Amino acid sequence: MTTDLCSLTARSMLELVRHRDVSRRELVQAHLARVARTNDRVRAVVELRGDEALADADAADRSHAGREGLALDGIPMVIKDHFDVAGMKHTEGVPAKAGRRSPADEVAIRRLRDAGAIIIGKCNQPDYQIRWNTVSHLYGATHNPRDLAKSAGGSTGGDAAAVAAGMAPLGLGVDYGGSIRVPASFCGIYGLRPSAGRIPAAPTLAPFDGTPTVDLMASIGPLARSVDDLWRAYAVLAGADAGDPSSLPLPPGERHGSGRKPRVVRMLDQTGAKVTPEIATRLDRTARILSDAGYEVADGGIPHARRAPEVWAELVGTELLEAGLPAFGNELGASNRQHIEAMFGLFNLGSDVRRYLAAFVERRAIARETAQWMEENPLVLAPVAGMATPPLDFDHMLDGRQTIELFDHMRNVPWVNLLSLPSVALPNGIQIVARRFREAEAIQAAATVERVIGRASVATM
């Protein structure tokens, strides 16, 4: 057939497979060929499983009749290096772990496979996932396929770049401080950070357990070129597992709820964020789309908006600097280590546990007041980053003043993590944040915007 398979959404691919207009092998072959044509320039995929993926596709094609109803049947996927995929490398982006391989699939990967997805490769990330850029000490930097001189964002920059470049219709990442939303917005695609606890993090390689902020603030989620694909992958992934005691036994929610449209608060700089005129204009246009569709839109901000991103940085930074760097700091590349020390050194509370506990108490107060406020203001529309996609080296070896300026541009990002909330990142650099466990409301609003701005295109390369 003449259709460019790599430009389709996962939903369209699924329909072709179900009607036997395209085989699963053809889908996988098309995407492997796309990787071969583009990855040398983008450097998104760091390990392929080409022969294995083709074998998976052949086996699925042979059992076509028994696969009816699989939500991701035959859909090629890329996976962030951080996840355990049986037999594949799990390096965390550092040379010290270059030879480490996962003994089995972790829960999220198993759910994707059970739904019919075919994993074709793993993607780049910064060292230990701690950066708003994707620069790996082991694999180098990932480039943005829409402009190779620009950053793909981080830390799920490899997956975002791969999806934007047409190497796969779906990727899988983790958002602990913007790591899905930032690369999605920089690469011009969609990304979903679900509520913390929605999707289990249950690795098969140690360490199996993390610090308190990981349970409260980190969230696994998909990246895609359409809102429907985000929801399709999310619905497969959501649900509790005993391997992650912080995961919750809740259904994913109803994609299409009542006809009532929730109130939307447009939040620009109430967090203290520096926002360029270009991003402010994009926010205004997105607010107008929602208003024209019948949403009530008003200006405002969450309670304690300015403190919220700082409390996130105090809690995460203190854990990183007081516990993380002593454990793995010598494995980091110079640029990655300097970034962590410069950024979180601004907020480290030190070794006095009383200050750390006080920050957690403050975090809970902000979460409580915001939850109450969001009962009247269910959706927040805000920028992701305060600037358009920056150059590839935008966060390299910044001095103190430059580090503060970077954090100020990103202040609209980490309050979402602090409060465990779900958010959909749009290709235009704007996000829609919903109440905890109300992913469907953010998805519905994102779909409303998508009907005007369109699905994300595949980058021309």
- Our measurement of the distance from residue 333's CA atom to the centroid of its chain's CA atoms, rounded to an integer in Å, reads 23
| Residue 424 CB neighbour total at 10 angstroms | 31
Among 283, 285, 404, 259, which residue's Cα sits nearest to residue 343? 404
Those residues with Cβ within 8 angstroms of residue 52's Cβ, 6 or more apart along the chain or in another chain:
87
Q: Which residues pair with 220 in a beta bridge?
A: 174
83 burial (CB, 10 Å; 0-12 / 13-18 / 19+) is buried
Q: What is the DSSP string of 374-427?
A: HTT--EEEEESSSSSSPBTTTTSS--HHHHHHHHHHTTTTHHHHHTT--EEE-T
For the 5-453 domain, the top CATH level (class) is alpha beta
Q: Which residues pair with 214 in a beta bridge?
A: none
Please state the three-class secondary structure of 411-422 as a single string. Answer: CCCHHHHHCCCC
Classified as helix, coil or strand, 362 is: helix
Domain spans, the chain: 5-453
Please state the three-class secondary structure of 126-178 as a single string. Answer: CHHHCCCCCEECCCEECEECCEEEEECCCCCHHHHHHHHCCCCCEEEEEECCC
For residue 407, which phi and psi values (nearest 5 degrees)? -60, -40
Q: Which two tokens stand for residue 123?
A: 């993607």
The mean pLDDT values, 10 residues at a time, for the chain of 461 residues are: 85 98 98 98 98 98 96 98 98 98 98 98 98 98 98 98 98 98 99 98 94 97 98 98 96 77 97 98 98 98 98 98 97 98 98 97 98 98 98 98 98 98 98 98 97 98 86
| Residue 254: predicted pLDDT | 79
> Catalytic residue numbers?
80, 155, 179
Distance CA 114, CA 111 (A): 5
Element (H, E) at 27: helix 24-42
Q: Is the separation of the CB atoms in 383 and 415 below 8 Å?
A: no
* Rg, the chain, Cα only: 20
